[in-house]
Structure 1
Amino acid sequence: MARQQWSSRSTFVMAAVGSAVGLGNAWRFPGIAYQNGGGAFLIPYFIALFTAGIPLLALELSIGKKFQSGAPGAFAQLNKKFEWFGWWGVGTAFCIAAYYSVVVAWVIDYVALSFKVPWMDKAAAEVFTQDVLQVSSGMFDLGGFSPVVLLGLVFAWLSIWYCIRHGVASVGKVVKYTVILPIILLMFLILRAVTLPGALEGLSYYLVPDWSKLLDINVWAAAYGQIFFSLSILFSIMVAYGSYLGKDAEVTKDAMIIGLADAGISFLSGFAAFGTLGYLAQISGTPIAEMKHTGIMLAFVTYPEALGQMPGGRFGVILFSLIFFIMLFTLAIDSAFSIIEAIITAFVDKFGWNKERTTFWFCVVGFCASLIFATRAGLYWLDIVDHFVNDFNLIAIGLVECIALGWIFGAKKLREYLNSNTTFKYGVWWDVAIKYICPVIFLFISVTYLITNLKNPYDGYPVAHLITGGWAVVALTVVFGIIMSFIPTKDQSKSVENEKVTV
């Protein structure tokens, strides 16, 4: 069966940027920057981009391109013993897709709520936890579904299926709009944020470094962690996207473009976030340093709270609420469908299934898996699963990947392939990044993570909750990877190995 290809280099770059640029840019980056000293965080962040993010991104794209296969198949062709951690990444991607789709559903609900702007009349936290999520008393008190979340979830999965129903052909058509539109909307938000009263105080907190923070190893670990999470690396996506590249694609250039675009949009998002925080600090009388606004709460509580009090009357609040949540939707949907595309690519390559039918049924399975996060206990499940699967699994996969490819297979051989068809060549620094810098950082973060979570249960949850929704899910992804690696691959020897179809 002939393999699809991206219709053009620009389409591929936009699709990869769309996957990398997601909700993590809009809320995780500002939140991490806020937690780690604002401007001080930017220095290690951009160092991490060039010493780890771009090298790993180029590594995964080149592996996919070389072997024309998703992550498990590509790693297996390097060495059969490597296949299991490709499937480990696929299992991790599926877990992330299950809860990420529910966050997309929340965003969809908030787009609809933006026409009513209930955060003008009541506390934004009350709107989120009571009206939308209808949060129950605890993790095991499922309490049925929140109707609005369930409806949003149906729309989210229909949108994901629609975007990838014809593989990279339909992805290429969608990203022309979903990559450009959020950037335009972000510019509107930035203009609004930086002109609000108190914005300068917020921007000063964001841009003026506290140099003493550079001596804190945790700030550096947070910077590298954010780069790994933001670039869609380590859970199969970029290997899958690379597998649809032609032999003439210059991965060294494209990885640089994608990495810089992702970091640039994160940096710009900080202006919108910190300008808004400065305004909120002024009207509330609470200094920015004493606020507790990170992660999900930044998007669904802090922003609506600030939007509801913005000057311009009800029309202005509706307008900027719509701009903000439509921007979040366009950011989120690209990342969501890229995760599913990576999973589907792995299974189609392994078993030779029909891709369009596989896409439909995986969206059905994904919807079913995400239902637990749409219950009234969904916020607890999402918080715990995200903490363990996203934080721990990705770092652990990165450590294994760097050891296997950098040391066992050989970073020099991979770099020679990377540089084989481009004038923009990577030097020995790339080998050093893959063999030394990335593994050391991955190992440090992993050990720190384990010690912290064993000494102090995450966020005060009971240990039983953390085992059920955290460690057990992590273990299942590892077991899944090992089992899948022992299943024989469908014989596709009758296929024309190098035949390509441009779509």
Structure 2
Amino acid sequence: IFGSISIPAVLGTLALWIVIFIILYKGVKRIGKVVALTVPIPTILLLILTIRGITLPGAIDGLNYFLTPDFSQLTNVSVWLSAYAQVFFSLSLAQGIMITYASYLKKKSDITNNACIAAFADAGTSFFAGFTVFSIVGYLAANQGVSIQNLGIAGPELIFITYPTAITLLPAAAVLFGIIFYFALLTFGIDSAFSMIEPMTNSVHQKWDMSKTKATAILCCIGFLLSLLFTAGNGLYLLEILDHFIAEFGLVTIGLLECILLGWFVPIKLFRKHANKTSDFTIGIWWDILIKIIIPTILILLLILSAINNILYPYQNYPWWLIVIIGVIPLLTITFLSIFFMKVSAPREEKNHA
């Protein structure tokens, strides 16, 4: 299943988890400094690569392919499933990240405005990045004399083909920009990793009355051990399966439960009133309706369609036994562990009851 272990990949993974631990150990202020340093660099690089990409022969064909809507795809279930999975991942929804970082804000922070800025900035960056990717895709298709549909580039390999190609075609300092690109890619991965570990660290710290340093060390060790599964020869394929099931089922299920909890079991009006007091943007009662009815209905429908689609058409035609082992079992395991840890009494809770 896994293939042979790659020692360089193992060492690289170990180094990354050590870096992640150090960043989290230094605390939130240091995390803010790391993000502030790493975010502007790829943005500037993206602008440079986009300018270069749209000047290449064949770029217009790629941009036409990117910007020309195909309304017939609106009836394609797979398109909707991929879209909501991308949104959940890109905005870090239902992962505890937003909740954790929001807890570090001042009490009167403008949460509504911050949420709007984050959403529009994310969507804008993704749209802008499409100009880079598809201009290069158009160039590659023209260079090989094939149509864009028959180019055969998709999935994770897309970024490792289009962006390096754009860098090699820069008129000057290609090596320097190549180093910057891979450094930016590395820092993006690290940023994503420690933002996922931070909510779990806080949960363990608060529930089990464990020091944040110890909780961070334990979770980083577990993360490293689990990461070893993907350092083998077939690691990329296994990661693709796991990523698919977490995005289409895991995150959406958590998002659904959050909506049900906030909409029906807590006074959601209090959240809306608090947000309106601290923001220039007023949220109306429509927000309550979205959280209580519309969004849960959409998520339930998408989960049902996703389940049917995955049963009828196994993901990427992988064998069922592999999908069950790598995709289904981890999801069920995480679910049962989450329920177990919620039910088990923690030392801090026992003290409070006493």
Q: Common fold, TM-score beyond 0.5?
A: yes
Inter-partner Cα distance in structure 1 for 2:270 and 2:308:
36
Amino acid of the residue matched to residue 392 of structure 1? F
Inter-partner Cα distance in structure 2 for 1:162 and 1:220:
39
The structural deviation recorded for 1:215 is 5.1
Aligned position for 1:185: 45
Aligned position for 1:386: 243
Query: Unaligned regions of 5+ residues in structure 2, if any?
Result: none
The structural deviation recorded for 1:331 is 2.2
Q: Which has the higher contact order (CA 8 A, sep 6+)?
A: 1
Query: What is the 5 A alignment of 1:75-474?
Result: 139=1, 141-143=2-4, 145-214=5-74, 216=76, 218-304=78-164, 306-307=165-166, 310=169, 312=171, 317-474=174-331
Amino acid of the residue matched to residue 169 of structure 2? M
The structural deviation recorded for 1:394 is 0.7
Would the alpha carbon gap of residues 396 and 494 (structure 1) be closer, same or farther in structure 2, given more than 3 Å must change?
Answer: closer
Alpha-carbon deviations, 1:206-260, whole Å to 9, x = none? Answer: 1232344445555444433322221001011111111112211111111111111
Question: Contact 1:202 / 1:276 at 8 angstroms: preserved in 2?
Answer: yes
Inter-partner Cα distance in structure 1 for 2:43 and 2:201:
28
TM-score, reference length from structure 1: 0.65
Question: Contact 1:189 / 1:323 at 8 angstroms: preserved in 2?
Answer: no
Would the alpha carbon gap of residues 204 and 380 (structure 1) be closer, same or farther in structure 2, given more than 3 Å must change?
Answer: closer
The structural deviation recorded for 1:456 is 2.6
The structural deviation recorded for 1:282 is 1.0
After TM superposition, the structure 1 stretch with the greater mean CA deviation from structure 2, 289-298 or 396-405, is 289-298
Question: Contact 2:94 / 2:251 at 8 angstroms: preserved in 1?
Answer: yes
Inter-partner Cα distance in structure 2 for 1:194 and 1:357:
50
Amino acid of the residue matched to residue 142 of structure 1? G
Q: How many residues align?
A: 352
Would the alpha carbon gap of residues 204 and 172 (structure 1) be closer, same or farther in structure 2, given more than 3 Å must change?
Answer: same
Inter-partner Cα distance in structure 2 for 1:316 and 1:247:
47
State the Cα RMSD in Å: 2.4
Would the alpha carbon gap of residues 155 and 260 (structure 1) be closer, same or farther in structure 2, given more than 3 Å must change?
Answer: same
Would the alpha carbon gap of residues 308 and 420 (structure 1) be closer, same or farther in structure 2, given more than 3 Å must change?
Answer: closer
The structural deviation recorded for 1:171 is 0.5
Question: Contact 1:190 / 1:272 at 8 angstroms: preserved in 2?
Answer: yes
Question: Contact 2:85 / 2:247 at 8 angstroms: preserved in 1?
Answer: no
Query: Unaligned regions of 5+ residues in structure 1, if any?
Result: 1-138, 496-503
- Report the 3-state secondary structure (helix = DSSP H, G, I; strand = E; otherwise coil) of the residue aligned with 2:253: helix
**Percentage of matched positions with identical amino acids:** 39
After TM superposition, the structure 1 stretch with the greater mean CA deviation from structure 2, 326-335 or 239-248, is 326-335
Inter-partner Cα distance in structure 1 for 2:152 and 2:263:
40
Alpha-carbon deviations, 1:301-344, whole Å to 9, x = none? Answer: 4544x3587375xx755344334322322322211110011111
Inter-partner Cα distance in structure 1 for 2:116 and 2:275:
13
Amino acid of the residue matched to residue 486 of structure 1? K
The structural deviation recorded for 1:142 is 3.0
